[in-house]
Amino acid sequence: MRRHLLALLISAACAHHTAKGQSEYQTDSIFIRKIFNTALSDGKCYEVLRDLCFKVGPRLSGSAGAAKAVQYTRNVMIEQQFDNVFLQDVIVPHWIRGAKEQGWIVTGKTGKIAVPITALGGSISTPKGGITAQVIEVKNFQELREKDPALVKGKIVFFNRPMDPTRFSTFDAYAGAVDQRGSGASEAAKMGAIGCIVRSMTTRLDDIPHTGSMRYASGVPMIPAASVSTNAAELLSKTLAKNPQTKFHFQQNCETLPDVASHNVIGELRGAAKADHYIVVGGHLDSWDFGHGAHDDGSGCVQSIESLRLLRALGYKPNHTLRAVMYMNEENGLKGGMAYADSARSKKEKHLAAIESDRGGFTPLGFGIVGSARQKEKIKSWAKLFAPYGMHQLGVGGGGADIGPLGPLGTTLLGLMPDTQRYFDYHHAPNDTFDKVNKRELELGAAAMAAMVYLIDKYGLE
Amino acid sequence: MRRHLLALLISAACAHHTAKGQSEYQTDSIFIRKIFNTALSDGKCYEVLRDLCFKVGPRLSGSAGAAKAVQYTRNVMIEQQFDNVFLQDVIVPHWIRGAKEQGWIVTGKTGKIAVPITALGGSISTPKGGITAQVIEVKNFQELREKDPALVKGKIVFFNRPMDPTRFSTFDAYAGAVDQRGSGASEAAKMGAIGCIVRSMTTRLDDIPHTGSMRYASGVPMIPAASVSTNAAELLSKTLAKNPQTKFHFQQNCETLPDVASHNVIGELRGAAKADHYIVVGGHLDSWDFGHGAHDDGSGCVQSIESLRLLRALGYKPNHTLRAVMYMNEENGLKGGMAYADSARSKKEKHLAAIESDRGGFTPLGFGIVGSARQKEKIKSWAKLFAPYGMHQLGVGGGGADIGPLGPLGTTLLGLMPDTQRYFDYHHAPNDTFDKVNKRELELGAAAMAAMVYLIDKYGLE
């Protein structure tokens, strides 16, 4: 009898628990539906992005555009009546492209075929008048190192390993090729080269050169480095196959100026229960210096602002303080991300979670997670709440560059993971413009971030 | 002891079965990987689509463009050395838009605001000089029917219910609004209206009018019907709110000419074991009469051809005969789909499965299935083989318009289901052009179709 009673009690307790779980699930499901519906029917982020693209434009760290972007996004969050909007000081590098970058394949004594090139971010200038030299084409560092240094000396090294088009995730393809851009110049210089050109980081064959950061290894001569469009890379490679003596010419006038005072831009919705515990959403405010930086990372910035605006518009009262952070200087220094984490550390601000959107404003498919197994399981237990919106990947992939420095502080890191197929068509290139962003796709990402913030704010990550 | 022996035998048999299953899974997984790798690294369909867009162009049934498209796709399959390429006769309607379609909001006695309009497919012309009349704005048929007929008589009915932006699938949003386009004119005519204008079927706010088919109910006067861009619809609605007497003018010169002899285009890879059993993949070759019909349905056509080319390029020898079918006249008659099924019926051709791609050349997410529960389960059992390519929806949604007539013959119908977010930005509109199609997304769809054909060909659907 007592055993029966116990069984009955346990059963009743479980039923209660299940009923409670069901009811919570219903509540969450309904609220998340409201988030998505509001984002899709009354979203603001597409118009904010339009202004960021057309009224602000490109915004490389240290530039007038970057300063304008700081003021613009600050004003947006003030106008949207965030509880608190403030700037956080960040000292950033100031590299400029300069005027007149050009390149050509030298054909015969006087002939030339002009090809699209662009200086890599951080590169030095060529000598005045440019460099003209024979070309050593290689696919990777190993192939270069096996060359006779006498052969490489005084030449231009041409890194021409394409991004692997068979990788389903274009980010994987990028990861497999970007060492050429990042370290190619120093690898070439170690062998005595006087210049470095790199095939653009895209799977497309077109005439658009893609820039991106490079760094010089210490103790190695600095040589100028540029990217060439994929079509130009193909042409140069074919030309070299016919005539290995073919020369290439390029000229660029880039320069690294003294560091500049800049800012992260932070907007807050204050928490009711635990105002000194934070959940942050963010993207990086800087972009490269051409196009609009629409996908990279205008999208992530406006989605972050929108995700908090949506929660407020729906009357949600957060437990923790929610922050939208526009990080400065992701592209060529990560100073904003580091400054944010430094500040959090010194102020002993407890950050539960940081979410970043920096993979383009495309249809969201899930979130990457960097956290404990238990935290991952907890987040994955919310899968059913995201499924109606096409998001079926929770826990595939990592966080994001800007939030990385928060990791050592015990913050769970999440990265919004959109469809990757188109991203590198536009990445770091003049065609990363507003028209490439689809309104609905952008809004879905913002809604997904809002839903994730809501769930973490409500349930925590313990 | 005997029981032990039996258990051992069963265990061994199971292990064998599992090992065999494992090994088959490995074989399939490796082959499908090859399909995707080949599609992404050596795909041909993007260039075929480029020519279909630029060298053929728009191809409404009965037009010179449609005839050119028949010859072009026939030649592509001949050049790709399909075993057998042939044309199937189809008689199609021949509607033409005519010159000079225009519309404006009449403001005051002499003022006007020109707005983008386009005749709906199948509509009659306006009287020479167009129609000018007061406007009755409604959101649905019910609202219209509740009006006083005396109020509607002699007016233009303006259907202005937007596609619901909160539907995650834009096809659902389309399904919830397209009755206005299809039946609006006759519903308006029943109430005595002399013209009908319909808000374009897109969630975007822009200046692009979207056409699409409409049909006249029998026994109801035929009145001219046009679509207006969404921005124009918003403007007209606001203008009417201020002044309900506002008049609208529109003029169009469309015409239905006598039917025309046209064709489905069919390419075959002959099967080794069961040559008289068929698996078909297809899209529709006709498009509306502006833009390129790049997504609708140039993409589906070139993906279908590509899916079989991929199998051949990889040396696959099919058991069943595989057909790529370019159906004519999906947009305004479905005569091609019906002719194909009629022929299959009269020739007693057994069709195991028909796969259609007619939802745009975007990142594929899965296949819709129309078939028995057992067939659905069988197809779903292949989910793990599609998962590495982002395809996680097997069995969500249906087949396709062109393959629908094969259903009654016992054919399992599958529809390729891509991401839907952008489709209706371009659907039936002048901006459905080649540049809107992403090469990788298109190729992934072709590979997905090839993989599905391979699995059905290998395992059947019993």
Is residue A21 very low, low, confident or very high in pLDDT (cuts 50, 70, 90)? confident
> Which of A165, A389, A438 is facing B168, going by the closest CB pair?
A389
Is residue B110 very low, low, confident or very high in pLDDT (cuts 50, 70, 90)? confident
Is residue A462 very low, low, confident or very high in pLDDT (cuts 50, 70, 90)? confident
**Per-residue confidence (pLDDT) for residue A140, from 0 to 100:** 98
CB B373 within 8 A of CB B451: no
Catalytic residues of A: 330
Cβ separation of A440 and B392 shorter than 8 Å? no
A169, A440, A444: best to mutate for the B interface, most B CBs within 10 A: A440
pLDDT digits (tens, 9 = 90+) for B30-81: 999 999 999 999 999 999 999 999 999 999 999 999 999 999 999 999 999 9
Is A34 part of the contact surface with chain B (CB cutoff 8 Å)? no
Does A384 have pLDDT greater than 60? yes
CA of A389: which chain B residue's CA is closest?
B168
Q: What is the mean pLDDT of chain A?
A: 96
Does A12 have pLDDT greater than 90? no
Report the 10 Å Cβ neighbour count for A60. 25
Is residue A100 very low, low, confident or very high in pLDDT (cuts 50, 70, 90)? confident
Between residues 384 and 413 of chain A, which touch chain B (CB distance below 8 Å)? 388-390, 392
- Three-state DSSP class for residue A380: helix
What's the ipTM? 0.94
Task: Show residues of chain A in contact with B440, CB under 8 Å.
Answer: 165, 170, 203, 421-422
CB pairs under 8 A between A and B: 55
Share of chain B above pLDDT 90, in %: 94
pLDDT digits (tens, 9 = 90+) for B134-159: 999 999 999 999 999 999 999 999 99
Average pLDDT of the segment spanning A376-385: 97
Question: Distance between CA A165 and CA A425 in Å, rounded?
Answer: 12
Does B11 have pLDDT greater than 70? no
pLDDT digits (tens, 9 = 90+) for B368-412: 999 999 999 999 999 999 999 999 999 989 999 999 999 999 999
Q: What is the mean pLDDT of chain B?
A: 96
pLDDT digits (tens, 9 = 90+) for B60-72: 999 999 999 999 9
- Three-state DSSP class for residue B216: coil
CB B327 within 8 A of CB B388: no
Average pLDDT of the segment spanning A138-157: 98
pLDDT digits (tens, 9 = 90+) for A306-347: 999 999 999 999 999 999 999 999 999 999 999 999 999 999
Q: Tell me which amino acid residue B114 is.
A: A
Cβ separation of B390 and A168 shorter than 8 Å? yes
Question: Distance between CA B306 and CA B450 in Å, rounded?
Answer: 8
Is residue A20 very low, low, confident or very high in pLDDT (cuts 50, 70, 90)? confident
Question: Distance between CA B356 and CA B452 in Å, rounded?
Answer: 11
Cβ-Cβ contacts under 8 Å for A34 (sequence gap 6 or more): A314
> Which of B41, B170, B438 is facing A165, going by the closest CB pair?
B41
Task: Show residues of chain A in contact with B396, CB under 8 Å.
Answer: none
Question: Distance between CA A235 and CA A243 in Å, rounded?
Answer: 12
CB B111 within 8 A of CB B101: no
**Per-residue confidence (pLDDT) for residue B440, from 0 to 100:** 98
Calculate how close chain B gets to A37, using CA atoms only, in Å: 5
Of A335, A371, A352, A224, the closest CA to residue A276 belongs to: A352
Calculate how close chain B gets to A61, using CA atoms only, in Å: 31
**Per-residue confidence (pLDDT) for residue A1, from 0 to 100:** 47
Question: Distance between CA A285 and CA B96 in Å, rounded?
Answer: 51
pLDDT digits (tens, 9 = 90+) for A362-380: 999 999 999 999 999 999 9
Of B154, B215, B223, the closest CA to residue B181 belongs to: B215
Question: Distance between CA A331 and CA A212 in Å, rounded?
Answer: 7
Of B137, B268, B330, B443, the catalytic one is B330
Positive or negative CA dihedral for B16, B19, B20, B21? positive
Does A411 have pLDDT greater than 90? yes
Does B224 have pLDDT greater than 80? yes
Cβ separation of A365 and B41 shorter than 8 Å? no
CA of A166: which chain B residue's CA is closest?
B37
Tokens of A131: 């460099």
Is A203 part of the contact surface with chain B (CB cutoff 8 Å)? yes
pLDDT digits (tens, 9 = 90+) for B228-269: 999 999 999 999 999 999 999 999 999 999 999 999 999 999
Segments of B12-57 assigned E as strands = none
